[in-house]
């Protein structure tokens, strides 16, 4: 299931990043022209090129490559895409543009989170992109895909270099990590499971709340999550995510310890909270499988919340 059609020229390609069902690349097609939202990683190109071939779209017909932000699970395949698509322009948040032209600091930051060996295994070699092919998408900037307007919104909170893309034809919004994550394996019989993503190092809970409210104000019929897929229960998911972010903050601030001990305690609390949220939507997957599916997200959320909490102490 590497290519899924949602209608109105919107497709999801499973990037194959880490495992199937974890990270999506979205393809928007209009009158024979194409744009990608998110890029997966270098290894994703095999699936990307297969999808284009399946749809009868030439690489020369790709006009835009749009990572929602420059974390490498979203932008790690950007340089590979730009090499394959000679007519494409890279559309990225102004704060992320310099990291696409010179990815050295971006790679160094990723190594700080994952380690050098794991970074190389996950992403391969990240090459610079010609700055002349990079468009800095200020808030409200729009690109035209064969007359189809794709509106870029500045949505900080998860990261300061994050944009969301409003597809004005369908009304759907490609939310990156601003609208959390939702894995198919954890979906209940009537409701999806959603969970905020608070990856280090730029988490800002008040800004994340504000960005979510901005997206919800568009009343989109669907949001397209990078992790993973389309959600149509938008209002319900928004309420759940707001509540969960507040709970994250409260749980973090209630832990008096610092450093590694704080991370250990918070990780345990978040794991228990995540399991309760999964059960609340009616998912009956065994506990061990639930925690295995969410292990990396819980680790990253823990790190991001701890970095945020340390920043609160520093400015108090």
pLDDT in tens, 161-194: 999 999 999 999 999 999 999 999 999 999 999 9
- Among 66-75, 83-92, 119-128, 130-139, the range scoring the smallest mean pLDDT is 119-128
Angle made by CA atoms 229, 191, 218, in degrees to the nearest 5: 60
The confidence score (pLDDT) of residue 34 equals 98
**CB–CB of 22/53 below 8 Å?**
no
pLDDT above 90 as % of the chain? 89
Work out the number of other CB atoms within 10 angstroms of the CB of residue 233.
16
Residue reference for tokens 């994703």: 44
Average pLDDT of span 255-271: 95
Phi-psi category of residue 100: left, alpha or beta, with phi > 0 → left and psi -120 to 50 → alpha: alpha
Band the pLDDT of 298: cuts 50, 70, 90.
Answer: very high
Decide if pLDDT at 313 tops 70: no
- More confident site: 10 or 315: 10
The confidence score (pLDDT) of residue 314 equals 56
Q: Cα(84)–Cα(127) distance, rounded to whole angstroms?
A: 13
Average pLDDT of span 286-302: 97
pTM to 2 decimal places:
0.95
pLDDT above 70 as % of the chain? 98
- More confident site: 39 or 1: 39
The CATH number given to 3-239 is 3.60.15.10
Q: Cα(106)–Cα(95) distance, rounded to whole angstroms?
A: 12
The confidence score (pLDDT) of residue 125 equals 87
Q: Cα(143)–Cα(145) distance, rounded to whole angstroms?
A: 6
Average pLDDT of span 82-94: 98
Q: Retrieve residue 51's tokens.
A: 């999808």
Bridge-based pairing of strands 24-30 and 10-14 is antiparallel
Contacts for 173 with CB less than 8 Å, ≥ 6 apart: 164, 165, 166, 167, 179, 215, 218, 220, 222, 223, 224
Band the pLDDT of 121: cuts 50, 70, 90.
Answer: confident
The confidence score (pLDDT) of residue 316 equals 46
């Amino acid at each position: 299931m590497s290519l899924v059609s949602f209608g109105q020229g919107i497709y999801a390609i499973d990037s194959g990043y880490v495992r199937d069902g974890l990270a999506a690349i979205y393809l928007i097609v209009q009158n024979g022209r194409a744009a990608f939202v998110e890029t997966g990683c270098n290894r994703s190109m095999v699936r990307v090129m297969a999808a284009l071939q399946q749809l009868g779209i030439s690489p020369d017909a790709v006009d835009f490559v749009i990572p929602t932000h420059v974390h490498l699970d979203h932008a790690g395949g950007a340089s590979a895409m730009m090499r394959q698509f000679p007519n494409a322009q890279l559309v990225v948040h102004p704060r992320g543009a310099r990291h696409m032209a010179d990815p050295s600091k971006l790679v160094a930051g990723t190594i700080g989170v994952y380690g050098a060996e794991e970074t190389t295994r996950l992403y391969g070699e990240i090459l610079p992109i010609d700055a002349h092919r990079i468009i800095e998408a200020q808030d409200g900037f729009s690109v035209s895909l064969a007359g189809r307007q794709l509106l870029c919104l500045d949505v900080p909170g998860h990261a300061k270099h994050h944009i969301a893309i409003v597809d004005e034809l369908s009304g759907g919004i490609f939310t990156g990590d601003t609208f959390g994550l939702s894995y198919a394996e954890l979906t209940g019989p009537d409701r999806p499971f959603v969970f905020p993503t608070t990856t280090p190092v730029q988490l800002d809970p008040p800004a994340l709340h504000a960005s979510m409210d901005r997206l919800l104000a568009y009343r989109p019929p669907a949001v397209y999550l990078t992790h993973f897929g389309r959600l149509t229960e938008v209002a319900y998911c928004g309420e759940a995510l707001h509540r969960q972010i507040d709970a994250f903050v409260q749980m973090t601030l209630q832990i008096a310890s610092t450093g590694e001990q704080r991370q250990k305690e918070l990780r345990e609390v978040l794991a228990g909270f995540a399991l309760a949220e999964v059960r609340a939507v009616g998912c009956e997957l065994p506990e061990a499988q639930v925690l295995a599916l969410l292990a990396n997200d819980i680790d990253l959320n823990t790190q991001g919340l701890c970095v945020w909490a340390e920043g609160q102490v520093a400015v108090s």
